[in-house]
Amino acid sequence: MSINPETVRRINADYAGITLDETREAELAVELTQFLNASERGRRRLDFNLDPYDFRVALIETGLAESK
């Protein structure tokens, strides 16, 4: 699934009302699509009732968080 700039524009107009130019709307569409895809990858690996530590481990394994 991908998010397009028009979707960003509509959601912003309906909820946030932040001043964005077309370039930023396009950038946000890419960033939100990347976030959505990463979330979907993680969702397939995580159970809702997992311990928070297990969630952090899964984020590190999927590249969504850094190990410290």
- Residue 66 dihedral angles phi and psi, to the nearest 5°: -100, 145
Answer yes or no: is pLDDT of 4 > 90.
Answer: yes
Highest mean pLDDT among 2-6, 38-42, 54-58: 2-6
The average pLDDT across 40-67 equals: 69
* Structure-token match 């990463």, residue found: 38
- Cα dihedral 47, 49, 54, 60, rounded to 10, equals 50
Q: Quick one: tokens of 62?
A: 């999927």
- Sorting pLDDT into bands at 50, 70 and 90, what band is 64? low
- Share above pLDDT 90 across residues of the chain, in percent, rounded to a whole number: 43
Average pLDDT, the chain: 82
